[in-house]
Structure 1
């Protein structure tokens, strides 16, 4: 087939926008979100947040998320195919066109949507985006994609070279599996609120609703759905019976394991899943949850409120954990959870825009911030108390290297070994790599203050 050459740009239609058909509206939103993320460096999460509520039908919200995530995961393959099919590369002002094409490719490839519906709605979205002159181009390219498919590609090629080299050096025997796992959607992990319902009972309720779930012996509160469903379809979700939380994140509560009635600090609490899990397991805990960003702390409050977990023994403070003079009352904690800000390289399949936005200099800044947090909260731990350092990174300098450096400068810090259920041995801690056991990449190190 001859190469398809895009026509020259024409002025955009300035007439007021007419209401769009629901399928078209989803594709328009997908193109705009992808354009902002891919071409303007915006966060996927921040771009989706204001858009999803505009879609009244939860099926449309689920489709929008599925399209943009699949487009970002497959972006490297789709862009390579489009470059080969287009005789003239898109112009500087064609960001929304390329974004719409990525959305179309994802619908045909990763999501396997019916071709006629995906093509018709995506072509119509080109017109709705003010590009009626390029609707024919979109149609021709997506029909070619439908006929020919997309060439196989090395999933490692989607990673920035500097980051790929770091991972290959750190985990030479596992790097290929991490790259492959990061290119696919993760299963949906649920955490059952044991205060309200038992795990087996909730699994039975899922089965009654036609939703299949499996158990993992490492997760006493966890259920795994290999076929994700919208949260609105989960029985009792709005009543707090269940929450969405990856299996690796659920294990943080097991690794910290505070004693009944303990005074606990969650130093970087947003979005609140780990704090909620701790309270669900033991409502006698006295929990102080901090986050430097008040908007993120509001998410913690929402998470706890939905689970019925707010009470006198739970406090939330919008403060920086590294500035204890602003918030600490001088009384020590029995247990501290430090789920530190990190490169998030273990959750690329859930946050595929990380591969677009992460820069080499970010790692040094994050390592320095993690060290400041460790040094700031350690004096607040009582002798004999436990601190759990955790990240969703798979880079040694943020994990084993970070804890080793802390141990070298902190004589009263002692490692408490964790079992194999938490992943590979990694210096003083344990590292699960992306996709292992169906879970996210995650690091855990359990430290005790000597008495």
Structure 2
């Protein structure tokens, strides 16, 4: 039987790797053009059939978005003059290659050769020599370039406005937060407690040669030693387990639902917290989930169906603020507001936030949150409780928002006494990376009787 020669095999492997880099370039162009990485991945990196290709493409894309400002500094030092905006392909290829050369184990010659080929394929043959020269200079002068970094924006690879805002809000924690934002996120599971305890499912994982560890702050949370295709998780398709950060898993317990309570979940998509509430409180007497975006509400529906919880929840696509259009007037015992926010607490999981978020976004978000709070408060029963949650670390969206709301309503704060996070003037802040969780803010409120 004829077999492939070693040279043919090497050529085939190189072609496969080139596919991964070509897809990485396509994905990055879309993100730099304003699209979110989660939306882009569906049509780019997720389409790659080979797991190794997907792994490499996601590593490059996330790495470039995570370390963009440091990589751009290297380019500025290595080029005599900046590239023109129309040459974004060349800029992105350089960013991709510099990330690999600085952070990955790929042989230098392979990165350089494929980068040269990539700009040729992109129709920029004139740039082949330039890319080759820049990358070879970097491999030669890497130590000198790294030693030349003396600016916080470059060192921590955050846009100036974001670095300064984090520094101003958290003068005692800003360096730790910035460092956490540049770490790879933990792959965390939420075990469906209607099926298994965390320890029972951990044993099931081990039986399938999947290593995991308990995360102390959340009862049903398990951290995997490495990422995995969720379809390979035991019982995933049948609802035994979901992927959810440990910080998000704190919400169910904090909402403090009692038997017979009517529960409202506002801004519910993608449904992780909705499903966890139904798992954690099997006695919930009807949960209403409201989400403005119809496509995102489909995610809620899919999650409920996989977990076999759809019969216990009613879904409404509507603006949470426009209660006349969807609320029947029957008040709720418990309300969860998973508020739209800057997502500044989940940057390690969504590094495109550094590129896409703007300082000017924050004030409109604060206004939106305030309007949702006011609308929700009218639907809460006297003596009822509300949990306000964001995945933000910005005080304007969190404790300052709560300060304003408490001053203008009949709400009182229920203090969260916990061994995680930091007590704020109002509410409690969990920082990114703390106890293997993302950054979240929580504040419990009680309505006067």
TM-score of the superposition, structure 1-length normalised? 0.89
Unaligned runs of 5+ in 2: 1-13
1:209–1:34 Cα change, 3 Å: same
TM-superposition CA deviations, 1:33-73 (whole Å, max 9, x none) = 212323x2332222222224432234433332221111111
TM-superposition CA deviations, 1:65-120 (whole Å, max 9, x none) = 22111111111111111221223422222101111222222233334334455444
CA contact 1:156–1:179 (8 Å) conserved in 2 = no
Match in the other structure for 2:97 = 104
Measure, in 1, the Cα distance between the counterparts of 2:240 and 2:44.
Answer: 27
Aligned length: 429
Match in the other structure for 1:306 = 306
Does structure 1 residue 400 correspond to structure 2 residue 394? no
Match in the other structure for 2:31 = 37
1:259–1:162 Cα change, 3 Å: same
Does structure 1 residue 23 correspond to structure 2 residue 22? no
- SS of the counterpart of 1:214? strand
TM-score of the superposition, structure 2-length normalised? 0.89
Higher mean Cα deviation, 129-138 or 374-383? 129-138
1:58–1:265 Cα change, 3 Å: farther
1:283-362 alignment runs, 5 A limit: 283-285=282-284, 286-311=286-311, 313-362=312-361
1:135–1:176 Cα change, 3 Å: same
Match in the other structure for 2:118 = 125
Measure, in 1, the Cα distance between the counterparts of 2:98 and 2:225.
Answer: 23
1:385–1:107 Cα change, 3 Å: same
CA contact 1:290–1:321 (8 Å) conserved in 2 = yes
Measure, in 1, the Cα distance between the counterparts of 2:235 and 2:128.
Answer: 43
Match in the other structure for 2:146 = 151
- SS of the counterpart of 1:393? coil
Unaligned runs of 5+ in 1: 1-19
Match in the other structure for 1:437 = 435
Higher mean Cα deviation, 374-383 or 59-68? 59-68
Measure, in 2, the Cα distance between the counterparts of 1:21 and 1:433.
Answer: 42
Match in the other structure for 2:241 = 242
Match in the other structure for 1:202 = 201
TM-superposition CA deviations, 1:197-242 (whole Å, max 9, x none) = 3311221232233332211222111011353333344333333322
1:256–1:30 Cα change, 3 Å: same
1:92–1:161 Cα change, 3 Å: closer
2:48 to 49, 55, 80: 55
Give the drift of 1:151.
Answer: 1.3
CA contact 1:36–1:42 (8 Å) conserved in 2 = yes
Measure, in 2, the Cα distance between the counterparts of 1:316 and 1:343.
Answer: 25
- SS of the counterpart of 2:305? helix
Higher mean Cα deviation, 79-88 or 123-132? 123-132
Match in the other structure for 1:9 = none
Aligned-pair Cα RMSD in Å: 2.2
Higher mean Cα deviation, 347-356 or 131-140? 131-140
CA contact 2:78–2:138 (8 Å) conserved in 1 = no
